[in-house]
Chains A and B, each alone.
Chain A
Amino acid sequence: MTGGETRYVGRPVPLLHGEQIVTGRRRFTADLTLPAMLHLAVVRSPHAHARLRGIDAADAVAEAGVVRVITGDEAARHIPQIPHRVDPALSGGRHADVLPLARTTVIYAGQPVAAVVAETLEAARQAAALVRVTYEPLPAVLDGDAAARPDAPRVIAEWPDNILHHGRIVHGDVAGAFASAAHRVEATIRLHRCSTQPLETRAYLAVHNAFDDLLTLYATTQNPHQLRHQLAGALRRPENRIRVIAPPLGGAFGLKMIGHPEESLVCLLAVLLQRPVRWVEDREECLIITGREQTHHVEVACRADGRVLAFRDRFVANVGAPYATPGWGMAPLTAATFPCGYDVQTVDIDYTLAVTHKGPWTASRGYGKEASNIVMERVMDLVAGRVGIDPVEVRRRNLIAASAFPYATATGLQIDSGDYQGTLAQLLELGEYDRWRAEQARRRAEGRWIGIGLACELTPEGGSLPRSLVAGYDTSTVRVDPSGEVTVLTGVTSPGGGNETGIAQIVADELGVPPWRIRVVQGDTDLCPYGFGNYSGRSLIAGGGSAALAARDVRQKMARVAAALLEAPIETLRFADGRIGVRDDPTRSAGFAEVAFAVYTRAYELAAVVEPPLEATRTYRPPAIRHTPDAHGRLNPYPTYSNAAYLAVAEVDPSTAVVRLLHFAASHDCGEAINPALVEGQLRGAIAMGIGAVLSEETRYAPDGARRTTSFREYVVPRVGDLPPIVIGHTRTPSPNTIFGNKGGGEAGVGGAAAAVMNAVADALAPLGVDVLSLPLTPPVVWRAIKGAGR
């Protein structure tokens, strides 16, 4: 028997269920209703920091249709605390108890303080507005650097300071490198607070079946099995008495990782009331939870030719109020992914995670890696400026050479493969770099402010954290029915990006059936093998890999039976077009379904050579992840490292300071793409996210910590007409650590696009003497910077 034939892998197969999406018929969690379902509304604190003096729910309870009002004390009797997805205390940080509803103090605006359950959503919301909470406002600590100071007021009263986590990575002779350097470049780079805003907000629907004591939660979640584990801890129920079902998602981007208080609240109330309870987040609520905001004090030592000798960074991340989702973990990964794709072995990176009274961080696409890329790329341009070379040249001189892979970085990462010079070269051609430089010179002579920004990007993918349920491996079951229909049950889930289509392509090639005939089942803890869901661009690495292995096992069984049926040596068989036939002899073949039926029905004669049923469960555990520390105490959490390069051309309107993007190009290397159309879709979305983060999106607060971005009116997300034409090219360096040579493709683009746009704006304003070191670059911010430059 030969291996599967590549007919669908590598092709732009249209999204399975795509027609449901474009015709508006896809059903999401908020579309689900159950008989006798109740609706939950959450009462939230308007204050960033306040003592809770009392809650009077009498008017709310008296409202028609209201079934129950619950406050912090009662909730805590059932849910003493929400377990952290990844507790910072496990890696030397601090633990904070996170409650479903506040009891004595609130520590961020938007924090839940009570929940109202009613017969209708309108009644629940109306009653929520009638819950009278008496607050005693307290001073709020909003600035990360201020919060990190020892004398700052505490966010968590029991802590000795506001430091959630602190770490330092040192490698090489840093002092020596700075002493011998021709140039030393210093900068303070500030990244602002923003969020991800999927079109589908979060929603949870819980129902408890008392007959077999099974609690079922339908949830917009990226991690159904781990949510089950977490709910077991929160609700103190056996894990096997909980079923989590994740219906199709309309975008996730990290927001739908687990640990949100509404998850366990909805479950608790469904159990207490013995009726289904649903909560659907509105946009105002979706804007509470945030990500990013950090200040980097960077120093670089370099030679006269721009070769970087050492990189030093001291940064403080403002992670907001402690929260149970894994958002805080972004900042340590920012540190661990420096100095990105550059060959710099001497580093000193010191990072501090400060808690404040701003909205908590949750995971946000890029998961900290976007921040390291933005900082590094801005710094490379500063180096180029200092030594007087082109931004292309400084990158060429510092990128890791193609011959150096696998490459061990100063922070301990093991980069599997890549051709960074090749990716950059393709970008320059694709993006018409030389032509745009000439165009820039011409337009500058006309008095126009036009800039070109470059960025290289390293995106580690498929990550895994030691001693946590954040795994690098995953598991799939492939099943063929007696009628020959193929079902894949997998532990990875889809955020809406289409990995089920990629998995179907892989299994289709192994079994010789078309992908649209294959049913892929995801996101049900009672149906699917134990798996870890969706994060870190892992789905086709681990999910696709395990599905391939399982499909091969099933194919092997079918081949043995087909060999007996066709009286042909097993090596001569091929699986194609729904048939199993003898290679080079079209007269001898059997239908795929016929062979499947034989496996089930002829178990005592023809098919006795194999064990029924036609089903196999396999796990793919990518190699190269290292959870045992090396001599320097460093780990390698990732099996694959995609890379990319970006070019942005920006023009700044001298009157309004509005930045308009004239051109955008990307060259992307995620190894062998399983489905290039889906990869490009991911990349375009990520680029749009990066552009929005720089030019318009910002989570803002009043001086007292009250929220100032509560709708899309204030939190401005780019729409399709705001985006420039995006030209995309691919280079392909296969990963040695995956079955198909693919690398993760879910996160690249956010940091790279943000950095390219930031560099383009900096380039446009350079003749004016404006330093561009802070994000965002919204028009009023740029306008003030231009005024400040004293034109």
Chain B
Amino acid sequence: MTAPVYHAPRSLAEALAVLQEFRGAGTVLAGGQDIVPLMNQGRLAPTHLVDIARLEELRNITEDAGLTIGALATHADLVRHGTIRSHLPLLVDAVRQMGGGLQVRNRGTIGGSLCAANPAYDLPACLLVLDAVLVLAGAAGVRRVSSSAFFLGAGRTVRRDDELLTAIEIPALPTGAGSAYVKLKFMEGGYTIAGAACVLVASANGTCREARLAVSGVSAVPRRISAAEAVLAGHRVTSETLAAVSAQIAGTITDPIEDVMAPADYRREMAGVMAARAVAEAAAR
């Protein structure tokens, strides 16, 4: 076995040049929370490791109309950020429910969490309900991809291997919006069984002007469930509408992930339960 060639570019341009040079053979290393365990387990043997940790400019979180989060912002950075804490509490929910403790929070990055495209991860579903846009930089320039188009399958995204995810743009939420992310796992150290992210926009009369709902952990890619969103639109959040949301989710997810941790029927029902809880939580915020 040969050790990977280690690259530590000091600028975005340099990083993109390295990726371009070793096209198809470069593995991007950010916080290392996916890559390093896989390497240790012998399940991944990169030939070129491109460590982007020195690209400090990718760690900033900037505010304009919305929020632009650099891809290297750590999970801990998200939880510390004032605007995220006050306006995007679902991201705080997601980080707090991650396994792995402080080490993962301090090392893991939002960009890594998205590019890994692990069905069990929490942030992808959150970005779907935030209508986030992912900024991909390549040698040929920058392109913006909707979060709903980013994920192709388990471990697969539209990011080309000469591109870097540099930032996540989150449009400002309408006034009156509440958000939440709720997930089910067995024990602190367990992986996601099912999760749900919700953004709920209330109108003056207390009904839902807009509902956005996405589930994680149950299918290869996180998905918005528009049929369940439609159940809420124009209605108040009551035990009846929550039950209808649960039923709609369970009815929509016909082929959930089944593994040693949870059978398909359980996971399907739990997606509905988590969605109802996320809606109730978002409504209360």
- Chain A contact residues, CB within 8 Å of chain B: 122-123, 125-126, 129, 655-656, 658, 695-696, 700, 708-709, 712-714, 716-722, 778-780, 783-784
- The answer to whether B1 and A122 have CB atoms under 8 Å apart is yes
- The answer to whether A717 and B189 have CB atoms under 8 Å apart is yes
Say which one of B6-14, B208-216, B260-268 lies at the interface with A: B260-268
Give the 5 A-B residue pairs with the shortest CB-CB distance, closest first: A719-B188, A126-B1, A655-B273, A780-B266, A721-B188
19 CB contacts below 8 A, A to B, read A122-B1, A125-B42, A126-B42, A129-B42, A655-B273, A656-B273, A695-B187, A696-B187, A700-B260, A709-B260, A712-B189, A714-B261, A716-B187, A716-B190, A718-B187, A721-B188, A779-B193, A780-B263, A784-B266
Which chain B residue has the least Cβ–Cβ distance from A123?
Answer: B1
How distant is B244 from chain A, measured CB to nearest CB, in Å? 15
- The answer to whether A658 and B189 have CB atoms under 8 Å apart is no
- The answer to whether A722 and B187 have CB atoms under 8 Å apart is yes
Taking the complex as formed, is B137 at the interface, i.e. its CB lies under 8 A from any CB of chain A? no
How distant is A397 from chain B, measured CB to nearest CB, in Å? 37
How distant is B41 from chain A, measured CB to nearest CB, in Å? 8
- The answer to whether B260 and A779 have CB atoms under 8 Å apart is no
Taking the complex as formed, is B116 at the interface, i.e. its CB lies under 8 A from any CB of chain A? no
List residues 139-181 of chain B with CB under 8 A from any CB of chain A. Answer: none
Taking the complex as formed, is B184 at the interface, i.e. its CB lies under 8 A from any CB of chain A? yes
Residues of B within 8 A of A714 (CB): 260-261
Partner of B189, one of A123, A700, A719: A719
A122 to B4 alpha-carbon distance, docked (Å)? 13
A656-B270, A784-B266 provided; 4 other pairs, C-beta below 8 A? A712-B189, A716-B186, A716-B261, A719-B189
- The answer to whether B273 and A716 have CB atoms under 8 Å apart is no
Residues of B within 8 A of A696 (CB): 186-187, 190
Interface centre among A713, A718, A722 (most CB of B within 10 A): A713
Chain B interface extent, by class: 10 to 19
Interface string of B40-52 (1 = CB under 8 A from A): 0010000000000
- The answer to whether B189 and A716 have CB atoms under 8 Å apart is yes
- The answer to whether A658 and B260 have CB atoms under 8 Å apart is no
Residues of A within 8 A of B263 (CB): 780
- The answer to whether A713 and B186 have CB atoms under 8 Å apart is no
List residues 242-269 of chain B with CB under 8 A from any CB of chain A. Answer: 260-263, 266, 269
Interface centre among B187, B261, B262, B263 (most CB of A within 10 A): B187
- The answer to whether A713 and B187 have CB atoms under 8 Å apart is no
Which chain B residue has the least Cβ–Cβ distance from A120?
Answer: B1
- The answer to whether A658 and B184 have CB atoms under 8 Å apart is yes
Residues of A within 8 A of B1 (CB): 122-123, 126
A720 to B188 alpha-carbon distance, docked (Å)? 8
A270 to B42 alpha-carbon distance, docked (Å)? 26
Partner of A780, one of B42, B191, B262: B262
List residues 62-104 of chain B with CB under 8 A from any CB of chain A. Answer: none
A779 to B262 alpha-carbon distance, docked (Å)? 9
A722 to B185 alpha-carbon distance, docked (Å)? 11
- The answer to whether B188 and A708 have CB atoms under 8 Å apart is no
Residues of A within 8 A of B187 (CB): 695-696, 716-719, 722
Residues of A within 8 A of B270 (CB): 656
A129 to B260 alpha-carbon distance, docked (Å)? 25
- The answer to whether A779 and B266 have CB atoms under 8 Å apart is yes
A519 to B222 alpha-carbon distance, docked (Å)? 59
Which chain A residue has the least Cβ–Cβ distance from B262?
Answer: A780
A714 to B193 alpha-carbon distance, docked (Å)? 12
How distant is A757 from chain B, measured CB to nearest CB, in Å? 14
How distant is B71 from chain A, measured CB to nearest CB, in Å? 26
Interface centre among B188, B260, B270 (most CB of A within 10 A): B260
A129 to B42 alpha-carbon distance, docked (Å)? 10
Which chain A residue has the least Cβ–Cβ distance from B276?
Answer: A655
Residues of A within 8 A of B193 (CB): 779
Residues of B within 8 A of A713 (CB): 191
A233 to B232 alpha-carbon distance, docked (Å)? 73
Residues of A within 8 A of B260 (CB): 700, 708-709, 714
Residues of A within 8 A of B262 (CB): 779-780
A714 to B266 alpha-carbon distance, docked (Å)? 16
Residues of B within 8 A of A655 (CB): 273
How distant is B195 from chain A, measured CB to nearest CB, in Å? 12
How distant is B98 from chain A, measured CB to nearest CB, in Å? 13
Residues of B within 8 A of A656 (CB): 184, 270, 273
Which chain A residue has the least Cβ–Cβ distance from B120?
Answer: A713
A695 to B187 alpha-carbon distance, docked (Å)? 9
Residues of A within 8 A of B42 (CB): 125-126, 129
- The answer to whether A658 and B188 have CB atoms under 8 Å apart is no
How distant is A369 from chain B, measured CB to nearest CB, in Å? 26
Which chain B residue has the least Cβ–Cβ distance from A128?
Answer: B42
Residues of A within 8 A of B188 (CB): 718-722
Residues of B within 8 A of A720 (CB): 188
How distant is A63 from chain B, measured CB to nearest CB, in Å? 8
